[in-house]
Chain A
Amino acid sequence: MALLAVENLSVGYHTRKGFLKSVQAVSFSLAEGESLGLVGESGCGKTTIGMSLMGLLPENAAVTGGKILFEGIDLLQLSKKEIRQVRWKKIAMIFQAAMNALNPVHRVGEQIAEAILAHDTEISEETAMKQVESLFQVVGIPPDRMKDYPHQYSGGMKQRAIIAMALSCNPSLIIADEPTTALDVIVQDQILNAIKDFQNKLNVSLIFISHDIAVVADVCDSIGIMFAGRLVEYGNVKDVFDAPMHPYTQSLMASYLTLDKDIAQLDSKPGETPDLVNPTPGCCFSERCAVADAACSLNTPEWVEISPTHKALCSRFK
């Protein structure tokens, strides 16, 4: 049984301008120890999915459909109290620019120990600190830095401390929302290696949310490309990268600058961000698509299976 199965999840926000359909009918699954990357531009809904999984949606958000089956239980049906049992203990989250989440007036080691003690009231403080030490080893921080304050840490170290905090309660799933966006390339490389490391050692499942497709390619087994609240391509990283099917995926690949290949000419026109309150009929990408035809703006596309481990939501590829 898959550890996590999201079925037809739809989430929106009540705003002054109307009901913003942030996530529409998204389905994916995650096995134990597997890592999935969710990639898309800002506003595509990937962060909302992360928040829904953690039960951290703000007050004006509304889940309009679907299920989130975690270890067989639908998280959306749980009460606030029951969610708190799951949150942090079984599912942990690393937020964007999380290094600002450290309290500047407490020592780092103590803060993480506090998180451990908050969720497990039976162990002693010493045991908690020992656990922090071993966690620091996993993420690569020298244990003698436990007594330091956050401002004495570099950006990369703070991020590692946050990862340690997320790992502290032995979750089976970690959701990382843009964990390396605010970091320099060299530090980012180290953090990604640390993530790959702990994933292997602890067999933790990972959902890696990012707008950076190359980072996801580096870390994840499967990838889901999102646009305007919908999942438009989904599959094995190797399959998707070898043969990207959806025009949006292709334009993402084309616009990503790397050092090891020449740049191909862009196909898509620069688009406005899609309107999530009144989505255009038909395919969500049709306005920006280079190969869209008249039918694309009228009919919603169906999933096309290119292989058992690769599918795309496009009516132009049959």
Chain B
Amino acid sequence: MTANPSTQTSNIRERPYKRFPTIERLAEGWAVYKENLIGKIGLTLLVIFALMAVCSFFPPLIDPMYHPMTGVDPLISHSTGPSWRHWLGTDFIGRDILCQLLAGARIAFMVGISAAFMSIFLGTVIGMIAGYAGKIMDTLLMRLADMIMVMPTLLVVLILSSLFGQLNIWTIVLLIALFRWPGVSRVIRAQTLSLKERPFIEAAKVTGASHFRIIFRHIMPNVLPLSLLYMTFRVTSAIIIEAALAFLGFGDPSTVSWGMMLQWVWKTGHMFQAPYWLLPPGICISLLTLSFYMLGRAMEEVLDPRLRKEVAQE
């Protein structure tokens, strides 16, 4: 090779990053995912709910009476059944139920994804540090995780909110995250423990990389797929916790969530008289959590090649 390396390498700077493992793996993963029936159903449902969330912005623009919190139909002042004006009917003060449902979808996604994201972030970082550091640090962190895991999230949040009054939705999100990271961290720690012994990590040590670099540059990318997988499961629990809090009256009264809707149904005594009001939020909570769960299960097959049905042989 007599070519001058400098002239060769200057061309490389212009060359785009083709075939990232992430993109190629996404494509490959998608191909596997597509074949999973559960995954397809879950994804379809998710897309429907996502559309609902997006559409939640439109009705108030059409007519202010469609606003989920403040939209009051001048003609109606009590709960009515489905009609052309209100496709799902109205609640006890004449607000449109469908709009509330759409707004609830938005809140559910927001709460679910934010809480899940925060708890995964915490859990992953703590899990990686515990797994990599071992010994005292590991013991300390894992005992902390155990203590938190043992506490009943719902109960503690209830107590906190009864002490501090009504909680803001974002405070609720934060609390959910703070109580839900231990589960993730255990899994990430286990994964880190097994990765720690792999030759490429030892190679990084022999190269002279610092512990920080090894954790965040070498271990993290290998652990992220698992984190993302667990995120889907965290979303389900976050949505349910928020709904439960709202139902029990400890939610944020200024946000319309499905749990809040259920609370209004119950509080205003319409439980058995207004199925058009009672059923939609309940069904939505179940379906949304189910669809995230299905997404997670299908992703599991993508991420763990052993679960795949196809085996390529030598």
Contacts and interface: CB of A to CB of B under 8 A. Distances in A.
B136 interface: no
A15 B309 contact: no
Contact of A13 (B28, B31, B309, B312): B312
A20 B312 contact: yes
Nearest to A43: B314
Contacts of B309: 59
A154 B238 CA distance: 52
Interface in B263-285: none
Contact of B310 (A42, A51, A60): A60
A61 B31 CA distance: 19
Interface in B300-314: 309-314
Interface in A23-51: 42-43, 47-48, 51
A59 B311 CA distance: 8
Contacts of A60: 310-312
Contact of A16 (B31, B313, B314): B31
Contacts of A15: 310, 312
Nearest to B31: A16
B314 A58 contact: no
A15 B28 CA distance: 12
A15 B314 CA distance: 12
Task: Among B311, B312, B313, B314, find the residue whose CB has the most chain A CB atoms closer than 10 A.
Answer: B313
A58 B308 CA distance: 13
A48 B310 contact: no
A209 to B, nearest CB: 11
Interface string B30-72: 0100000000000000000000000000000000000000000
A61 B28 contact: no
Interface residues of A, number: 15
A180 interface: no
A42 B314 CA distance: 7
A315 B313 CA distance: 31
A15 B305 CA distance: 14
B311 A16 contact: no
A16 B305 CA distance: 14
B313 A61 contact: yes
Nearest to B309: A59
A22 interface: yes
A47 B311 CA distance: 15
B28 A47 contact: no
Nearest to B310: A60
A158 to B, nearest CB: 23
Nearest to A42: B314
A151 to B, nearest CB: 20
Contacts of B313: 13, 22, 47-48, 51, 58, 61
A41 B50 CA distance: 52
A44 to B, nearest CB: 9
Nearest to A44: B314
A56 to B, nearest CB: 10
Contacts of B310: 14-16, 59-60
Nearest to B311: A58
Nearest to B32: A16
Contacts of A42: 314
A22 B313 CA distance: 9
Contacts of A22: 313
A179 to B, nearest CB: 17
A48 B310 CA distance: 16
A276 to B, nearest CB: 10
* Closest A-B pairs by Cβ, 4 of them: A58-B311, A15-B312, A60-B310, A43-B314
Given A16-B310, A58-B311, A59-B310, 14 more contacts: A13-B312, A14-B310, A15-B310, A16-B28, A16-B31, A20-B312, A22-B313, A42-B314, A43-B314, A47-B313, A48-B313, A58-B313, A59-B309, A61-B313
Interface of B: 28, 31, 309-314
